[in-house]
Amino acid sequence: MHIQTINTQPFNDQKPGTSGLRKKVKVFQQTGYLENFVQSIFDTLLEKEGLPAGATLALGGDGRYHNREAIQTIIQMAAANGFARVLVGQAGIMSTPAASHIIRKYHTFGGLVLSASHNQGGPQGDFGIKYNMSNGGPAPEKITDTIFEKSKVIASYKIATLSKDADLADIDIDTIGITVFDDASSGKQFTVQVIDAVHDYADLMQELFDFSAIKKLLASGFKMQFDGMHAVTGPYAQEIFVNRLSAPASSLMNCVPSEDFGGGHPDPNLTYAEDLVKIMFAGEKALDFGAASDGDGDRNMILGKNFFVTPSDSLAVLAANATLVPAYKNGIAGVARSMPTSGAADRVAAKLNIPCYETPTGWKFFGNLMDAGKVTLCGEESFGTSSSHVREKDGLWAVLFWLNILAKKGTSVEQVLMAHWAEFGRNVYSRHDYENIPTDAANSVITHIKAQFTSLPKQKFGAYTVKTCDDFSYHDPIDGSISNNQGIRILFTDGSRIVFRLSGTGTEGATIRIYLEAFEPDTKNHHLDAQVALAEMIKIALSISQLVEKTGRFAPTVIT
C-alpha cells in the first residue's frame, strides 16, 4: 500500500442538502470532485474526534450508475486517511436502512452511503453521497456545515494505491470475504471486508415483527404485490417476502436492481409507481395489499385494494397499532414528525399520552430524539417512516409493520383507515410539487409570501381565517441547536395549514412544495378524495403565493 497526497482545487458547490450532497453524475465525474468532498468529510471527522484505533467505515450505495467507481475511490481514500477497515456491501450495494443497521451492529466509526435516493439514475441522472455517524444516522447540520466550509478551501486529498499491479488496482467487491493490505511504511494493516448486508437486515426484521402471523396471512389467500422499482430493495424483498415469508415469487415486481432503475424514476408515489398503482386500482381485480420503495430503500408507499394511504396517515396508524408488533408490544416512548407532515400522529400521541415532536424536514433531525429515548416512531409526509431500530427511514420495515397489523387485525387496509379516522378524525392531506422551476422564479414566490407575514393574520379566505404565519425554526431539545428557515407555515384558525418549502434534494432548478392540510372530524366526509376535500385550500395557496403568475406553471408536476 502506497499513500499519496494529491493537490486539488476546491469546488464551490459542495453544500449538502436535506440528505447529503446530490449532483448530476457528470458533476461527480469531474476530476477531484468526489475526492474533495470525501476528504472534506474525513478532515471534519479527524478534526472533531480523531480516528480511534481500528476505526471501521461502512460503505455501500443504492447501486446506481457511478456507484462502483466511487466505492473504489473511497476505499483507497479510507486507507490513506487512517481507517483500519472498510465494511463494504457485496457488489457495493446497501440500502440506506441496511447501512444504518450495519453501522450500529458492527459498531463502526461511521458510514458513507452513496445514493441520490428517489432521483433518477444513469449517466444523465443523479449521484449522491452522505455521511452517517456512529449512531447510524445522517450527520447533523453542524457537521455538514463544517464539511461544506472545508470543501471550499481544500488544497489536497489523500489516496492510497492498494495494489502494485495496475491491472489488479480494483478491489474485488463482489466476493464475500476479507482482504488485508500491508502498509510497509507504517507497519499497519488495512482490511476490506465484503459483507452480505441483506441477511443482517432480514434478521433484524425477523426479530422485530411477527413473521409467523404474516406468513399465515400470506398463505390465506391474501394477495400482495411489492414493487422494487428496479432499485436497491429487490434482493431484500426476495429474501424477506419470498425466502422467509413464503410469498409467491409473482408477488414481487421490478425487483432486479439496475444502474438506471430501468430508466424510471425510483420514487414510490402515485405518479412514478404507476405499474403498481394500475394493479392496485383495478377495481374488483385489485389485490389486497401493494407497496413500493425508492432508489435507496428508505421510502415506502402503502396501498390497499383501490386505496392509497397517505404517509402522514400511515405514521399515525403505525403509532396507534404499535402494540400489535412484538418489538413495540410494551408501547412506544413518543413520536416525531417533520413539520410539513400532517398532525394525524399528534392526535394518536395525545390519546396515548406520549409526546409528539415536530422537527424540520430531513431524517437527520430525528437522531437526537431517538438517541435520547424520547421517541420510538418517526415519520415524514414524503413516504418515510421508521423507528429507533435504525437511525434512517426504512421502507421495508414500514411494509412489514403494515402486514403485521393486517395479520393481527384481519381487516383490509381501507377498513383500518376508516376505523382510524372514525376514532381520531381525519387530517385530510396532500402535497403539490412544482418541479424544475427556474431558481429566480421560485425564490420570488417565497419572497412574495414572506412579504405578507404581517398582513396575512386575521385575513379571511372563504371559510378560512389566517391565524398566524412564520418561517419554521427548530430548537433541538437535546443539543440546543437551532435551525432556521425550515419552511413557511400559514396556520388557519380551524387548525388547517398551508406550508411552502423549497426542496433541498433536487439537482436541476428549484422545486416548490406546497403542503395542504385540513381537519375533518365528520365521519360522513371521510371517504372524500383529498383533492376534492382540499379544493378551497389549494385555491388559497395559489392566491397567496401567486405561483401561477410568477412561474407560468398552471398545475403541479406531482401530487401526492
The residue ranges that bind ligand VG1 (CB under 6 A) are 18-19, 117-118, 294, 298-299, 338, 361-363, 380, 382, 384, 503-505, 513
Q: Which of 331, 319, 324 is nearest to 408 (CA)?
A: 324
Q: Do β-strands 2-7 and 156-161 pair in parallel, antiparallel, or remain unpaired?
A: antiparallel
Q: Which of 289, 277, 294 is nearest to 62 (CA)?
A: 294
131 forms bridges with which residues in the sheet?
112
* 294 makes contact with Co ion (CB under 5 A): yes
Cell of 376: 420510538
Nearer to ligand VG1, 363 or 401 (CB): 363
CB 95 within 8 A of CB 201: yes
DSSP string, 343-380: THHHHHHHHHT--EEEE-SSGGGTHHHHHTTS-SEEEE
19 binds, among ligand VG1, Co ion, none (CB under 5 to 8 A by kind): ligand VG1
363 binds, among Co ion, ligand VG1, none (CB under 5 to 8 A by kind): ligand VG1
Identify the active-site residue in 95, 117, 258, 382. 117
CB of 24 to ligand VG1, least distance (A): 16
Compute the Cα dihedral for 313, 315, 319, 321 and give only its sign: positive
361 binds, among ligand VG1, Co ion, none (CB under 5 to 8 A by kind): ligand VG1
Nearer to ligand VG1, 19 or 44 (CB): 19
Q: Which residue is nearest to ligand VG1 (CB)?
A: 117
**Can 117 be counted among the known catalytic residues?**
yes
Per-position x/- string for 254-293, each x denoting binding to Co ion as judged by CB under 5 A, each - no binding: ----------------------------------------
CB of 410 to Co ion, least distance (A): 32
DSSP string, 374-411: S-SEEEETTTEEEETTSSS--HHHHHHHHHHHHHHH--
* Beta-carbon contacts of residue 171 (< 8 Å; ≥ 6 apart): 72, 75, 162, 179, 192
Beta strands in 149-286 (DSSP E): 156-161, 177-182, 189-195, 224-227, 252-253
User: ∠484-488-491 over CA atoms, to 5°?
Assistant: 125
**Tally: H helices and E strands in the chain:** 18, 27
CB atoms closer than 10 angstroms to residue 455: 10
476 binds, among Co ion, ligand VG1, none (CB under 5 to 8 A by kind): none
Return d(Cα 266, Cα 258) in angstroms, integer.
11
425 binds, among ligand VG1, Co ion, none (CB under 5 to 8 A by kind): none
* 392 makes contact with Co ion (CB under 5 A): no
Nearer to ligand VG1, 56 or 120 (CB): 120
CB of 512 to ligand VG1, least distance (A): 10
CB of 340 to ligand VG1, least distance (A): 7
CB of 513 to ligand VG1, least distance (A): 6
CB of 392 to Co ion, least distance (A): 9
362 binds, among Co ion, ligand VG1, none (CB under 5 to 8 A by kind): ligand VG1
505 binds, among Co ion, ligand VG1, none (CB under 5 to 8 A by kind): ligand VG1
* 387 makes contact with Co ion (CB under 5 A): no
Element (H, E) at 291: strand 289-293
Q: Which of 130, 95, 124 is nearest to 112 (CA)?
A: 130
Per-position x/- string for 66-105, each x denoting binding to Co ion as judged by CB under 5 A, each - no binding: ----------------------------------------
CB of 543 to Co ion, least distance (A): 33
Interacting residues with Co ion (CB under 5 A): 117, 294, 296, 298-299
Catalytic positions, please? 117
